[in-house]
Chains A and B, each alone.
Chain A
């Protein structure tokens, strides 16, 4: 199997794009990605779109046909959906299509336009459809509430503290303040996080990632063709995915994510790396508890110690392990179906020393970790330069 290379990337700033549409945002991202790879639209042989819920957020399905042709990419297109992991799953499908020999090149787009809905209850419900509709959303569960169940169980089982969780948000805002594409480019204090209003106790507003609009696009090709488009391709050296029960209550331990452990093992084995080889990671911090659990599940610290690891500063930029140099979902923003592709683009820039003020110093191996729902889906990818 040939390695897959990323030869171009493009994205919009993440934020509240009241002046633009879902289609308009993808047009910006695709145009930048085509320019970045110096590739003609007609050279793109296939396209894969990751998006969670345009049907509810924008009353628009069939976005595979909405997006490509509008931007001059007439290749056969397919939308891939796995909740907040839609972007990463779309990239995996593109990799499989290339490795199966069907295509040499693929455009992968992640997009979500969440601010077309007026009522926050509508947004909460739209996102809630990624949980078990009959047995979670249908009895009043929301995503903040499901992650709050995990957070309280974690605090009860391991003695983790609200201060530890708050440190995740503070660190990600520190990094986000250095990222010109981030939704929130402002530092916050521990007090701001810990005194923010309660969303679903013990989760407060500043434990949560925001409602965001954004589109991100990458161009993939085979290793043997990569240098045709760029001198500095980034290679996907490992990929893994895991699927678990959609409902949190169906999983025996709600303080861990088996899907993540499985995805990490598959991806690391494929890339032939160990945890100590990872230089930096973009993790799915949709809520602060998610980053804490992930630090433990991926293996940067012992089970139950993720909060302390964070509060001790081990995850800060250029500390023991740089976690979410982009600012993460918390500060960079979380346009749900696009998030996986934004993570890949951050790793692309970090590996190529293009990340400006937030550039990590150790940058040989970068990893992305993208979850869907309350952890029922997880995708992990490993990246490196060709040198």
Chain B
């Protein structure tokens, strides 16, 4: 019998969406100015097809968070990790991990910033996926700023 751990995804599965996977590039409706992340072909608010690229600042705030102890495949080495929904300063939200923090250092509304990181790995020899996570805004001087 086969089990899912032997079902591995192709490398293109992870880099084909390069625009939004490695940097915060989305797009904007040229008509009603609604912002999207990741990009969409069409504005689902005003139904316009006129879209233009939009680059996000990389800053945002925590909407909610959870410290995860039972991970899916590929995330075992980093438990417990902080999974979070963050809201970018420009408006769109996304699910991401918050890094460079201890458990008592994360709170709702905390300002965060973009950080390029390893995301997951398929064992010792498999594909390593990269992408972005978020860390406290102003890292590594964020603690000094507080005072």
Query: CA–CA, A197 to B67, complex, Å?
Result: 13
A39 at the interface (CB under 8 A from B): no
A152-B65, A153-B108, A249-B95 known; A140-B71 Cβ under 8 A: yes
**Interface-side segment among B24-32, B72-80, B137-145:** B72-80
Asked if B63 and A153 make an inter-chain contact with CB atoms under 8 angstroms apart, the answer reads yes
Asked if A156 and B108 make an inter-chain contact with CB atoms under 8 angstroms apart, the answer reads yes
Number of interface residues of A (CB under 8 A): 43
Query: CA–CA, A137 to B72, complex, Å?
Result: 8
Asked if A125 and B95 make an inter-chain contact with CB atoms under 8 angstroms apart, the answer reads no
Interface residues of chain B: helix, strand, loop or mixed (majority): strand
Query: CA–CA, A121 to B63, complex, Å?
Result: 26
Residues of chain A with a CB closer than 8 A to B63's CB: 149, 153, 249, 254
Interface size class of B (residues with CB under 8 A): 35 or more
Residues of chain A with a CB closer than 8 A to B96's CB: 139
Asked if B70 and A200 make an inter-chain contact with CB atoms under 8 angstroms apart, the answer reads yes
Q: Which residue of A lies closest to B87 (CB)?
A: A249
Asked if B66 and A202 make an inter-chain contact with CB atoms under 8 angstroms apart, the answer reads yes
Asked if A156 and B64 make an inter-chain contact with CB atoms under 8 angstroms apart, the answer reads yes
**Interface-side segment among A72-80, A128-136, A262-270:** A128-136
Out of A128, A136, A149, A249, name the residue touching B66 (CB < 8 Å).
A149
Per-residue interface assignment for chain B, residues 78 to 95, with 1 indicating a CB less than 8 Å from any chain A CB and 0 otherwise: 101101110000000111
A141-B83, A156-B108, A248-B85 known; A122-B64 Cβ under 8 A: no
Asked if A135 and B94 make an inter-chain contact with CB atoms under 8 angstroms apart, the answer reads yes
Asked if A152 and B108 make an inter-chain contact with CB atoms under 8 angstroms apart, the answer reads yes
Query: CA–CA, A119 to B38, complex, Å?
Result: 33
Per-residue interface assignment for chain B, residues 1 to 28, with 1 indicating a CB less than 8 Å from any chain A CB and 0 otherwise: 1111100000000000100000000000
A: which residues have CB within 8 A of B?
Answer: 56, 59, 116-122, 124-126, 128, 132, 134-142, 144-145, 148-150, 152-153, 156, 197-203, 247-250, 254
Nearest 8 CB-CB pairings of A with B: A148-B66, A201-B67, A149-B64, A153-B64, A249-B93, A125-B72, A249-B85, A200-B66
